[in-house]
Structure 1
Amino acid sequence: MNNSTLRLVGLRAATTSAANTVAAIQIAVRDLIDALVEENALTPKRIVSVTFSVTADLDACFPAAMARQRPGWDGVALLDCQQMAVQGDLERCIRILAHAWMPGDRRPIHPYRGKAYLLRPDRSNYD
């Protein structure tokens, strides 16, 4: 497979918000999307969809609404949903499942930021 061959991949990412405020969620979402895009060398044209799930303790705003403000993201399908409530789950957590076209020889990078490193220490980017 050469670099010009694209394949559709699923990318996972997660972070935590410092608080349940619009400003704190915006900072967390921006940092997480920046990491996902930069670490995977993505352009908006190659991103098919992004689903955001948040824990029930984050209800100040919609993460997808913040992503929608990014340049070139008007063609990306965006969706918000609430993460399944599980006792002992990580608080104020924002998770992403993104689908994007990537070069076939490029290994996907799944950034886990903030306290989300607790979810996947094997894939974490420590701040």
Structure 2
Amino acid sequence: MIRGIRGATTVTADTEAEIIQAAEALMQDLIESNGIEADMVASVFFSTTEDIQAAFPAKALRNIDGWTYVPVMCMKEIPVAGALKSCIRVMVHVNTEKSQQDIQHIYHGNAVRLRPDLQND
């Protein structure tokens, strides 16, 4: 079964260092929380709000051991009025036997407000 695992984070500045650090921390948490190994992953999609332009968040994935060959893509979010700014979102398509309710979606920073119903204490 292929499942989608969602995550999001925010940055306080549009700098390459902050974008990469935030995306890497998000991915490390998502990987650890769901017991994911790179060979389980079909693809990873990152999106950013239009105010993030200094770096591709996908670059962070290359800092994680074993993730060199995982297909990854970046895109822009649609600019919806009132939407959360400075936000990086991710969708990981993973082969897993976990049920939908056992998937741990991860939200960091101000992105926790996107899905407060999914927050783990």
| Alpha-carbon distance between aligned partners in 2 of 1:74 and 1:23, rounded to the nearest angstrom | 20
Structure 1 runs of 4+ off > 4 angstroms?
none
The counterpart of 2:89, out of the listed 87, 95, 109, is: 95
Structure 2 segments unaligned to the other structure (5+ residues): none
Task: State the 1:74 CA deviation.
Answer: 1.9
Secondary structure of 1:85's aligned partner: coil
TM-aligned CA deviation for residue 98 of structure 1: 0.8
Q: Which structure: greater helix fraction?
A: 2
2:118 pairs, out of 100, 116, 123, with 123
Q: CA deviation at 1:125?
A: 5.1
Q: 1:80 aligns with which of 66, 74, 77?
A: 74
Equivalent residue pairs, number: 120
Tell whether the 8 Å contact from 1:16 to 1:28 is kept in structure 2 after alignment: yes
RMSD: 1.5
1:14 aligns with 2:8: yes
How far 1:105 moved relative to its partner?
5.1
1:70 shift after superposition: 2.0
Kindly indicate whether the alpha-carbon contact (under 8 Å) linking 1:47 and 1:101 is maintained by their aligned counterparts in 2. yes
Whole-angstrom distance in 2 between the partners of 1:76 and 1:12? 17
Which residue of structure 2 aligns with residue 34 of structure 1?
A: 28
Mean alpha-carbon deviation: is it higher for 70-79 or for 108-117?
70-79
Q: Name the CA distance, whole Å, in 2 between partners of 1:116 and 1:91.
A: 9
Give TM-score, length-normalised by structure 2.
0.92
Q: From the superposition, tell whether residues 22 and 10 of structure 1 become closer, same or farther in structure 2 (CA, over 3 Å).
A: same
Give the partner amino acid of 1:88.
G
- The answer (yes or no) to whether the contact 1:117–1:125 under 8 Å persists in 2 is no
Question: For residue 51 of structure 2, what is the aligned residue in structure 1?
Answer: 57
Post-superposition Cα deviations, 1:11-43, rounded to whole Å, max 9, x if no partner, equal: 111110121001111111011001110100101
5+ residue gaps, structure 1: 1-6
- 1:25 counterpart (4, 19, 24): 19
What is the letter of the counterpart of residue 105 of structure 2?
Answer: H
